[in-house]
Chain A
Amino acid sequence: MSPVVYWFAVVIGIAITVFALVGMAAVLVFGERRVLGLLQDRYGPNRVGPFGILQSIADALKLLSKEVFIPPFADIRFYLLAPVLVATSVLVSFVVVPIGPGLSWAADLNVAVLFVLAMSSINAYGVFLGGWSSNSKYPLIGSVRAIAQLISYELSLSLAVMGVVLLSGSFSLSGIVEAQRIPYALLQPVGFVIFLICGVAETHRLPFDLPEAENELAAGFNTEYGGMIFALFFLGEYMAMLLIAALTTTLFLGGWRGPFLPWAGVLWFALKTGAVVLLFYWLRTSLPRLRYDQLITFGWKFLLPLALVNIMVTALLGMFWM
């Protein structure tokens, strides 16, 4: 087909993907509030629409109608750039996630894993810039803590992924899913646990959410943000959670593979990702927040050596196996 039609189709596809992802983030926010209510002996929001499913739309309308107050003491360029960095890096990472056999934008990119890790580093930039450019003490402390946490846990995250790469022999996510006859969670249990813990830390969710804890730092790095800009940060965080769940599914749980019904790949992927997201919600309700020094100690003194040992053991066993 002619290049104009091709590019037009690409743009339409991108628009649909972005809307679908943002919509999924909104559904995740609503789902989190209902599931948290279920686990906490109360109902979540159930007034707006049948069973409260229109709650996210009501929240979106409220955020749209709020004033976007840009503090006069803020560094305006980075203040506006930070939420864009966060949301964009997460959206772009979804390009390489295979949601079904052959169904993705670029899952067979031969450095897909490195691409995702690089995008998560840009996400860390966005979080840090948000707090730094707000030029006020609570966001500053929140963002300094956030960036220290993010870079510490990124190391162990990458090392846990390296174990999977060793087993499957390729960096491309579709290649990793193809190579999983047995889900790698069984072959790499330590790596799976490390990846989950680091994933929770990367999206700064409980028990690792000190950078943005409401009762610690008045909302941390997003204190000075309001209205639609805050909504970008907020949705970026939930899309990052969805991304980590999708990556866990792809790398450790077999992606779109299922024991039966091979044509329902997308369904299996959705089920597994949903289960991981529910695990994230469950962890949020149950576990107390880690203090900052406990968090950094855990990341450097426990997870990093464990991840290194994991890789060495995987490599040794792999040598003997082959």
Chain B
Amino acid sequence: MLEAKALKKAFGSVKAVDGVSLRAARGETVGLLGPNGAGKTTTVSIVAGLLRPDSGEVLIEGRPLGGDTDPLKRQIGLVPQDVALYDELSAMQNLALFGALYGLGGARLKRATAEALDLAGLADRAKDKVAIFSGGMKRRLNIVAAMLHDPAIILLDEPTVGVDPQSRNAIFENLEIFKKRGKTLIYTTHYMEEAERVCDRLIIIDHGKVVADDTLRGLYRLVPATNLLNVELDRDIDGAALEDLRHLPEVKSAKMGGGVLKVGVPDLSAGAPRILAWLAEGGHSFHHISSERADLETVFLTLTGRKLRD
């Protein structure tokens, strides 16, 4: 459906995008994950036709995306990072304008506008000016404004920035609807939880380069321990005993801090009983035990050596 090949774009001496390639199949949701300034928005801008790459190309259905008036652009709907709406106009007037940009008019435009308002949950506020909308309402309208011409590919550039949890859930519900309709979604974010929730596949970008491209499960395989066992002990374990624990075959890492023993294990079902037995053998009593999975933060840290929100 969508393919970008070896995209490069520099602004002066700054290489914003340095050889980024990506593919997205019909109905697939691909996340672009990376810290601020990683090159996500520049990549999306090139794919949307806003920026001309220094090299590389964007293919839609195998055909290269051309200049300003290329009809292939109709296959793309862009949700900009900013709330790109006219505050002075009503919700309906905004949608009518953005639909007209793609040549929609008459009954077709009316139908598309009504459907979009319905999808955004703003049908009863259609004639209200956007200026009086809440941040979440604006974000929802911002998203459906990209859907009026029924594009096959939707580019969402950090669509939940500054949104309250309720509106965020509403946005995710919209995305689910888009997926069910077979839309291809490219979703940029620096929120790991969103990427985990929404995306089928994730592309991690850092300093303008792709550092990983896989499913969530595949990415977790890249980290040494996919699970972390937290054991709250009555008293700390000394260094020698900790070193002994690290030598167990089921254990990848172990560290003690604040009365909590944190043990990294690749396989929780095999590792947890073995660790508990080791604790009992050593006479280390504990009063609470919990486990957590490695997350994308861990993946990013493993791949780049720095935190996602640095």
Partners in one complex: no
